[in-house]
Amino acid sequence: MNILITGCQGQLGNEMQLLETSYPQHRWFNTDVQELDITDQTAIEQFVAEHEIDGVVNCAGYTAVDKAEDHEQLCRLLNATAPGYLAAAAEKRGGWIIHISTDYVFDGTNHTPYVETDIPHPNSVYGCTKLAGELSVSNSCTRSMIIRTAWLYSSFGNNFVKTMIRLGKEKSELGVIFDQIGTPTYARDLASVIMTAIEKGIQPGIYHFSNEGVISWYDFAKTIHRLAGIATCHVRPLHTAEYPTPANRPHYSVLDKTKIKTVYGIEIPYWEESLKDCLEKIVEL
């Protein structure tokens, strides 16, 4: 197949590129804004037609959650309108699209893991635009697969893991929120399940994916420091109210992964094991 990857310079896009070498039977078209402006519908249609694209993996998006509160128009363009363009172009060729969404489509008031059939209720601009993107994609392409994920990190780009390592080396004390609960997702593991879906065949619908387990941001930070050998920084727990941000964040965003595990016959790594793997990659850099 000829497969278009958008957002190839992001965390997930970079991880996808590393795995592509294991699938030489496909032609991969890795693009970021320099190669393809996904907000330009005509450019997308021309690219998809010219390269006879069979499938799209949309890793692009506006992910600056707090800035989104002041830049709703741009956020909506990248997270809702553009995915619809990609999905429509795929549909025109009888192709498929895998679109990446987020736990932020929920308000975080649950006390049990969210399943795909739970009714979304976003309470931030970012979450609202990502939900609009889900609807845009599913309405525009019959063979659309939407994967909601959470707390994404990688050895590429800027993320919580790399920030905690940097601050842990710079500061003697650090406050991290303990009353927001979820599960980290190693982008390499997400890329791997995307490849599995491509190989086994796209089963349309919404899926949840993160690593296994449940922790707080505080626990995550403590474990990062322990595994990275950082012992000079005291990490103390903070309430969300002590660290106000422009955007609301879900207090509970654990995702139930039963559906994707059942449909694709996969096992998902425990979050700490994946964190160890990522830290090894960061050390190599």
Between the alpha carbon of residue 73 and those of residues 77, 128, 208, 225, 247, the distances in Å are 6, 12, 27, 38, 16
As a whole-number percent, the residues of the chain with pLDDT over 90 amount to: 99
Would you please indicate which residues are annotated as catalytic (active-site) residues?
126
List the end-to-end C-alpha distance of the chain, in Å, as a whole number: 32
- pTM attached to this predicted model: 0.97
Q: Please write down the HEC assignment for all residues of 177-197.
A: ECCCEECCEEHHHHHHHHHHH
What's the rounded Cα separation, in Å, for the pair 175 and 171?
Answer: 11
State the DSSP code for 119. Answer: P
Q: Which of 112, 111, 42 is nearest to 82 (CA)?
A: 42
pLDDT at residue number 284: 74
R_g of the chain, CA atoms, integer Å = 19
Q: Within a 10 A sphere around the Cβ of 158, how many other Cβ atoms? A: 12
* Average pLDDT estimate for 44-67: 97
Dump pLDDT digits (tens) for 231-273: 999 999 999 999 999 999 999 999 999 999 999 999 999 999 9
| pLDDT of 285 strictly over 80 | no
Q: Please tell me whether residue 147 adopts helix, strand or coil conformation.
A: strand
